[in-house]
Amino acid sequence: MHRFAKPSVFLKFTAPILPWLSALTVILIAAGLYFSLIGSPVDYQQGHTVRIMYIHVPAAWMGLFCYVGMAICGAMSLIWKHPLADICARATAPVGATFTALCLITGSLWGEPMWGTWWVWDARLTSMLILLFLYLGYMALVNAFDDPERGSKAGSALALVGAVNVPIVKFSVDWWNTLHQPASIVRMDGPAVDPSMQVPLALMILGFTCYYFVVLILRVRLELNERRIRALHLSGMFEDPETPASANEQAYEAGHNAEAKQ
Amino acid sequence: MNGFLAILQRDLRLALRQGADSVMVVAFFIVTTTLFPFGVGPEVNILARIASGVIWVSALLAAMLSLERMFQADYEDGTLELLTLSPVSLELLILGKVLAHWLTTGLPLIIAAPLMAVMLNMDQDGFVTLMIAMLLGTPALSLIGAIGAALILGARRGGVLVSLLVLPLYIPVLIFGAGAVEAALLGISATAQLQIMAAILLLTLAAAPFATAHAVRQAME
């Protein structure tokens, strides 16, 4: 585990994986979309609206998955102080927040025809909304410090504290009996969904998960490259003795320093 | 234990001598609660119906308002740094600070709550439960709030940020606090809700000092 925590190893290790993973994501989502939109039967009660499920459920899964990932990264960065764990957590937050928002939006689109309402203050919906707030709080917190490392550390602590919400989201439908249907996929006596719907759902869930890893790798690489550029700038590598650094840049640096001193 | 008592005494003395802070929290609570009759209309039935929720939400906001100064002043003048270096465990000292915070903000809120309940025309059956629920709930608010207050040390616009961090974590207290009063008003036993609130309090009591101490330590690095 520690071996992979070095940025250079991460870059070397993920470079060959990325194209394959991207291809796999495209195939999974394309197949999933085909089966969920065309290849699967219409629900006998819900009609075509049931197809919202194929986006809604994977999005909900990803919202939770990303939060757990973020909390684990937070724990790793607190325990072993790996900078890569910080970067992973930072890179995960916006993705998870987007999936959570997507889940809430598709849920309300689904709820309107099914329950006759866009929103109910049901335990599952409310805890999912809290999840979104936690993501937003995390993102606001990590960006609120002048020192990015300090932001990451504070964020790690918040990610861990907020993790209490994850089991609440998962079990809310079992603990409180309200409009939202009970768990139908992950449960003790096997899934309660017909195989014809289970297959496209599984494809979509796998596709979304792969998509997350592709985006994660891309975002981590971007961040590493940005850091490298910043480090090179600071060390003066880019400064050509013939042509002095542009006035703009100097002004920016001066402004930045003044800001940091305040 | 001496360190705990010393920091408790110090924080209480500071709060008493500065005075205004504690009063401000109660004033904020009362003003916020009074806004609701203007907002939803002075109809007695509606007010009685929403009283427990209004009181809880206002209490949450008032408790949150006072969080920023929990560590901020000590952080700025260097006291917090000395506290982290002291031989007494930081977790214990933080517990002392949290207790002082609760005594100066949570307790006045509990005393002011029945007054607001009367003004909102809440049924008398709910009063005792409201007091018990607030007695269990407000310490949990202080404990959870301490984590948020410690996380924003040195952040830009910390005061606004703390609301985004802490309010989502306050929601369980709000749900069960208002639920307990609601149950009592309906004449059902509120024991279940109160037990869950006690569980939340115990959980935060066990976990929050460690999380807060961690956040304070890394703010000092």
Tell whether the model's pLDDT for residue A190 goes beyond 80.
no
| pLDDT band with cut points at 50, 70 and 90 for residue A238 | low
Say whether A26 sits in a helix, a strand or coil.
helix
Say whether B33 sits in a helix, a strand or coil.
helix
Residues composing chain B: 221
Q: Which residue of B has its CA nearest to A162?
A: B169
The nearest CA of chain A is from the CA of B134 a distance in Å of: 22
Nearest Cα to Cα of residue A49 among A109, A116, A135, A123: A109
Q: Each residue of B132-179: pLDDT tens digit?
A: 999 999 999 999 999 999 998 888 877 788 888 898 899 889 989 988
DSSP bridge pairs for A47? A43
More confident residue, A176 or A23: A23
Q: Are A95 and A66 in contact (CB under 8 A)?
A: yes
The nearest CA of chain A is from the CA of B155 a distance in Å of: 5
Q: Average of pLDDT values for B112-124?
A: 87
CA atoms within 13 A on the CB side of B112: 25
What per-residue confidence (pLDDT) applies to A195?
Answer: 74
**Distance separating alpha carbons of residues A104 and A96, to the nearest angstrom:** 12
Q: Are B209 and B147 in contact (CB under 8 A)?
A: no
Q: Average of pLDDT values for A232-248?
A: 63
Q: Are B215 and A154 in contact (CB under 8 A)?
A: yes
Q: Average of pLDDT values for A147-176?
A: 83
| pLDDT band with cut points at 50, 70 and 90 for residue A21 | very high
- Alpha helix locations (H) across A50-192? 53-79, 83-115, 123-142, 148-162, 165-175
Which residues in chain B are contacts of A145 at CB distance < 8 A? 154-156
Hey, is the C-beta of A77 within 8 angstroms of any chain B C-beta? no
Q: Each residue of A206-218: pLDDT tens digit?
A: 999 999 999 999 9
Arithmetic mean of pLDDT over chain B: 88
| pLDDT band with cut points at 50, 70 and 90 for residue A241 | low
Say whether B171 sits in a helix, a strand or coil.
helix
Which residues in chain A are contacts of B154 at CB distance < 8 A? 145, 150
What residues contact residue A49 under an 8 Å CB cut-off, 6+ apart?
A43, A110, A113, A114
What per-residue confidence (pLDDT) applies to B50?
Answer: 87
In 3-state terms chain B splits into helix, strand, coil percentages (rounded to 5) of 85, 0, 15
**A&B contacts, CB < 8 Å:** 60
Hey, is the C-beta of B168 within 8 angstroms of any chain A C-beta? yes
Tell whether the model's pLDDT for residue A72 goes beyond 90.
yes
| pLDDT band with cut points at 50, 70 and 90 for residue A49 | confident
More confident residue, A180 or B97: B97
Q: Average of pLDDT values for A16-22?
A: 90
| pLDDT band with cut points at 50, 70 and 90 for residue A124 | confident
121-150 of A, contacting B, C-beta below 8 A:
126, 130, 133-134, 136-137, 140-141, 144-146, 150
Tell whether the model's pLDDT for residue B180 goes beyond 60.
yes
What per-residue confidence (pLDDT) applies to A252?
Answer: 52
Number of H helices, E strands in chain A: 8, 0
| Test mutation, A129, A153, A259, chain B, max B CBs within 10 A | A153
Tell whether the model's pLDDT for residue A25 goes beyond 90.
yes
What per-residue confidence (pLDDT) applies to B160?
Answer: 82
More confident residue, B28 or A173: B28
